[in-house]
Amino acid sequence: MITGSELVRGDRTDRNGPFLAREALRLGLEPARIEIVGDREDELEDALQHGLAADLCIVSGGLGPTHDDRTVALVARAAGVPLETDEHLLAEIGDVSRRFAARSGRPYADFEAGVRKQATIPRGALNLGLAGTAPGLVLETSQAVVVVLPGPPAELQRLWPRAIETAPLRRLLADVTPPERRFLRFFGASESVVAKALEAAGGDGDGVEATICARDFEIHLDLLVEPGAGARADQLMRTMLDPLEPYLFAEREASVAELVLDLCRVRGFTLATAESCTGGMVAERVTAVPGSSDVFVGSIVAYADHVKSAELGVARDVLSQHGAVSAETAAAMASGARSRLGADVAVAVTGIAGPGGATQEKPVGLVHLHGETPDGGSGLEFQFPGDRDSIRRRATVTALHLVRRLLTQSRDSPG
């Protein structure tokens, strides 16, 4: 259960529900629902009553010091246990708040009521420690194990491993067997093509459950394999991959950016990007991967033509004869990124993301990509559909897949 009126109103996107669902599945628990609830007391109480009918109810958010942070009190009410002030927690939260008060030049008295509120927890609840000033809690009822975690994703993810190690969660998990998970990742095939191949191979069932999802212009197929169904999963994968082999890029849960970085490491290559219409989005995807600094050296975002010339060495006659959005300019940008940034591998993106800037010859959605490695280079031209955001995101993903293909080909080639 994810709480917060800002989520219900669309002001923020829920990141905790998907994370917790994936974690539950990894541990062998079948998620029944992800419920997003506002801060109204009656709605929260109703959702908790339903949640406590499950074996495990995880609640995030509503642990702060203000009047609309009601989660802890309502969990206690739903579980039928009183609230008590935990003196150790009171001192711990008080220390954090005193330091903040001193830094902000405010009297501690401004925080005292909120500190006591956050240190008041259901009787019998286990304290997982603090993330900020909000404690994570685990409460075991006659029916359910209730895990209460902070709303900020980073804080929730920091306390979640502690919850798994508590005795109530260990007892619950002792009775389940995590299913085997298999992952197939496709690029260039549509969701319907993958679904058709799955159906032609016999479909799921008999201990194998398949989920197909279009994500970031890729098609992700996940298989949950129950104990004893391994042979059935093997047969299903062999049969369906026969027509889909050209589109398969991974059989593990890894992003294309992770794969590109791994391929560079294998060859001892460094990587750079030169970007126009994507404005640094390719570099952002790469640097979002922890440890990318051992491969990625940098990016040049060259939006204006004079920056393409000055920073990437794109010849002015190339720009004047072919234009900023052209195969020739993309190739020159990639070459310039390699030489100027001292990288072994570079990818360049230039295009018209719209809604303006188009001509009859070069419409909105036209994108030129070029990748270059020590073993050679390759360019691609696409006409992407969609709005500005969609075109930029699709160009970003396609640029990374271009690099992946170039590195895979160079890795597999003789010599």
Is residue 176 left, alpha or beta, with left meaning phi > 0 and alpha meaning psi from -120 to 50? beta
CA 84 to chain centre: 38
Alpha-helical regions (H) of 66-166? 71-79, 87-104, 109-118, 153-164
Nearest to 275 by CA among 381, 371, 408: 371
Q: What is the pLDDT of residue 177?
A: 86
Please report, in tens digits, the pLDDT of each residue of the chain (415 residues total).
999 999 999 999 999 999 999 999 989 998 999 999 999 999 999 999 999 999 999 999 999 998 889 999 999 999 999 999 999 999 999 999 999 999 999 999 999 999 999 999 999 999 999 988 889 999 999 989 999 999 999 999 999 999 999 999 999 999 898 889 999 999 999 999 999 999 999 999 999 999 999 998 999 999 999 999 999 999 999 999 999 999 999 999 999 999 999 999 999 999 999 999 999 999 999 999 999 999 999 999 999 999 999 999 999 999 999 999 999 999 999 999 999 999 999 999 999 999 999 999 999 999 999 999 999 999 999 999 999 999 999 999 999 999 999 999 855 544 3
pLDDT in tens, 323-370: 999 999 999 999 999 999 999 999 999 999 999 999 999 999 999 999
Q: What is the pLDDT of residue 4?
A: 92
Nearest to 63 by CA among 23, 3, 126: 3
CATH class of the structural domain 180-250 = alpha beta
The amino acid that residue 198 corresponds to is: L
2-173 topology per CATH = Molybdenum Cofactor Biosythetic Enzyme; Chain A (3.40.980)
Q: What is the pLDDT of residue 413?
A: 45
Please give the model's pTM, rounded to 2 decimal places.
0.84
Pick the CATH number of 256-412 from 3.40.980.10, 3.40.50.12780, 3.40.50.1110, 3.90.950.20: 3.90.950.20
CA dist 269 and 332 (Å) reads: 20
The full set of domain ranges for the chain reads: 2-173, 180-250, 256-412
CA dist 42 and 63 (Å) reads: 17
Query: What contacts 290, CB < 8 A, 6 or more positions away?
Result: none
In percent, how much of the chain has pLDDT > 70? 99
Reading the block at residue 176, the tokens are 């389940």
Q: What is the pLDDT of residue 411?
A: 54
Please provide the DSSP assignment of 315-358 as one string.
-HHHHHHH-SSSHHHHHHHHHHHHHHHT-SEEEEEEE--SSSS-
